[in-house]
């Protein structure tokens, strides 16, 4: 059992129709976190374009919600050809929720999803000065190699088993139920 999430926090997958939540979350990142997330100081227009592309790719995005607001994400996307065994993962957590175990919980979910999709290798690209991301990757036995100021962490994902597929299904069922509650509460909340 991993660390508990911060109070009122929960994790579920994002739906296709929730691109705007992802967009707003990425815009809320402070400049340093934005740079760490994208490897450079990117503009708002870049982010707007990025979320559209991310939405059209075969990505699995887990979201960390606090009081129905998306405060963190982990994006998993296949790399290259259709039947690739490699994927890339990228993380973003808004500053007040950093260093509270959210990245750990999101990586745990992401590894489960990667395993169940048959990805053998998960690339995590981050800047060389991003100690926290490196520490986080190391917690999951990442092997790190250095390349032109960028650290690439590669995590071997274990094979899927009936239990791992069931585990993903169970956490998704909970996520689906709470997502419906979110949608419902948005409808009944006064503007
Ligand atoms: C990098 C990031 C995803 C890490 O998530 P997080 O929720 O802050 O990390 P966690 O609290 O789960 O901590 C993971 C590990 O990092 C280390 N860590 C935590 N806070 C740290 C700090 N301030 N300095 C150095 N290491 C730290 C610890 O080893 C910790 O594990 P432990 O608590 O078991 O000791 C998050 O901080 C973030 O989104 N940063 C901005 C964007 C970014 O850098 N994205 C990564 C590029 S893809």
Q: What is the pLDDT of residues 20-70, one digit of tens each?
A: 999 999 999 999 999 999 988 999 999 999 998 887 778 899 999 999 999
pLDDT category of residue 78 using cuts at 50, 70 and 90: confident
Distance (angstroms) between ligand 1 centre and the Cα of 162 equals 31
| Mean pLDDT over each residue of the chain, to the nearest integer | 81
Identify whether the C-beta of residue 72 lies closer than 8 Å to the C-beta of residue 97: yes
User: Which residue, among 153, 154, 75, 164, has the nearest Cα to 118 in the 3D structure?
Assistant: 164
User: Which residue, among 116, 117, 122, 113, has the nearest Cα to 161 in the 3D structure?
Assistant: 116
CA-nearest residue for atom 48, ligand 1, is: 90
Q: What is the pTM of this model?
A: 0.85
With the most atoms of ligand 1 within 8 angstroms of its CB, the residue from 1, 37, 70, 103 to mutate is 103
Q: In what order do the strands lie in the sheet with 143-147?
A: 9-13, 60-66, 69-78, 86-93, 121-127, 150-156, 143-147
């Amino acid at each position: 059992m991993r660390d508990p999430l911060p109070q009122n926090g929960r994790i579920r997958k994002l739906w296709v129709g929730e691109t705007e939540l992802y967009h707003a979350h990425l815009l809320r990142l402070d400049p340093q976190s934005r740079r760490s997330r994208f490897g450079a100081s990117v503009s708002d227009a870049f982010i707007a374009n990025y979320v559209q592309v991310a939405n059209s790719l075969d990505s699995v995005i887990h979201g960390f919600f606090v009081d129905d607001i998306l405060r963190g994400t982990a994006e998993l996307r296949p790399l290259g050809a259709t039947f690739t065994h490699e994927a890339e993962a990228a993380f973003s957590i808004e500053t007040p929720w950093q260093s509270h175990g959210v990245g750990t919980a999101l990586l745990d979910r992401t590894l489960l999803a990667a395993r169940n999709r048959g990805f053998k290798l998960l690339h995590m690209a981050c800047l060389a000065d991003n100690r926290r991301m490196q520490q986080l990757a190391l917690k999951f036995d990442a092997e790190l190699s250095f390349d032109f100021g960028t650290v690439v962490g590669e995590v071997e994902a274990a094979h899927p088993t009936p239990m791992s597929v069931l585990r993903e299904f169970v956490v998704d069922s909970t996520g689906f139920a709470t997502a419906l509650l979110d949608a419902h509460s948005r409808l009944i909340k006064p503007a």
